[in-house]
Amino acid sequence: MEAAAVAVAGSVTPFSGATITRPRPMLREVSRAMAQCSTCSLQQHCVPVGLDMEAARLLDRIVTSRIRLRKRDVLIRPGQPFTALYAIRSGSCKTVLIAEDGNDQVSGYHIAGEIIGADGIATARHDCQAVALEDAEVCVLPFERIEQLARNDSRVQATLHRLLSSEISREHNLMLMLGTMRAHQRLASYLLDLSQRYGSRGYSSSEFMLRMTREEIGSYLGLELETVSRLFSRFHREGLIQVQARLVKLLDRIALKQLVAASA
């Protein structure tokens, strides 16, 4: 029998440029029937990647709950004790780093099948804020139970290592992009990355909705809002993409790849 409870999110000071206004109820559903890795349609793109059915069933002992988020709900706050990783089952989230002076920077964009929350492993507290960009569902993976299972099963241990390695690789790629690419290359690289990630999950790789605003994309890419808007207009004008509000269609991925590969 499915059990449901409502948990009210705690107060948080809005960061610069955020659209979060006040805490809202967050629907927390607890259901073993709904939260099973072994039967989830995303198992080939999420935590169980590379695991056989037996190992996936082991994870079912851990993933016992899902959290439903409304758009703009905060899942993780800076300073919050680290207790779990969160696997996005539907929707998308952004992660934001907030400096002591109150300025913020979007540090990640995460879609279904991806993990958030690993930033808290080192210090046992989160240093970023995770916010839902649309209505979303996340599966809760208590980290203490994951570690215990990993110690007893080498397959789960390898999966945990893969997840953490992917997070490190993603951060390195972002630093490389910010440090070596010009503005137009950053945006082209961002669009191609979205194309690859959506395509690998069975969605259209050529036409998708941008869940982050132009300002948030600029924050993620280290660009001013005006620069991002100007580049979208330029790519549209040159026939590389077609833009209608937040809907983007990639018309010439080869040209976009050439832009990224071109010498700065």
DSSP string over 194-227: HHHHHHHTTS-SSEEE--S-HHHHHHHHT--HHH
pLDDT tens digits, 199-227: 988 889 999 999 999 999 999 999 999 99
Residue 176 lies in a domain: no
Global pTM? 0.79
Q: What pLDDT, on a 0 to 100 scale, did the predictor assign at position 200?
A: 85
User: pLDDT below 70 — which residues of the chain?
Assistant: 1-60, 64, 263-264
Closest CA to 213 of 200, 199, 225: 225
| Burial class of residue 95 in the structure, from the number of CB atoms within 10 Å of its CB (0-12 exposed, 13-18 middle, 19+ buried) | buried
Under DSSP, is residue 130 helix (H, G, I), strand (E, B) or coil? strand
Residue that is last in its domain, among 136, 170, 204? 170
Under DSSP, is residue 131 helix (H, G, I), strand (E, B) or coil? strand
User: The domain containing residue 201 runs over which residues?
Assistant: 181-261
Same domain, 201 and 118: no
Same domain, 39 and 151: yes
Instruction: Give the count of domains, the chain.
Output: 2
CA dist 129 and 10 (Å) reads 13
Residue 226 Cα distances to 15, 16, 177, 191, 217, angstroms: 21, 17, 19, 18, 11
Same domain, 137 and 11: yes
Residue that is last in its domain, among 170, 191, 225? 170
Q: What pLDDT, on a 0 to 100 scale, did the predictor assign at position 42?
A: 59
Residue that is last in its domain, among 121, 145, 170? 170
Same domain, 226 and 162: no
Same domain, 153 and 243: no
Under DSSP, is residue 11 helix (H, G, I), strand (E, B) or coil? coil
Under DSSP, is residue 115 helix (H, G, I), strand (E, B) or coil? strand
Same domain, 125 and 248: no
Q: What pLDDT, on a 0 to 100 scale, did the predictor assign at position 7?
A: 36
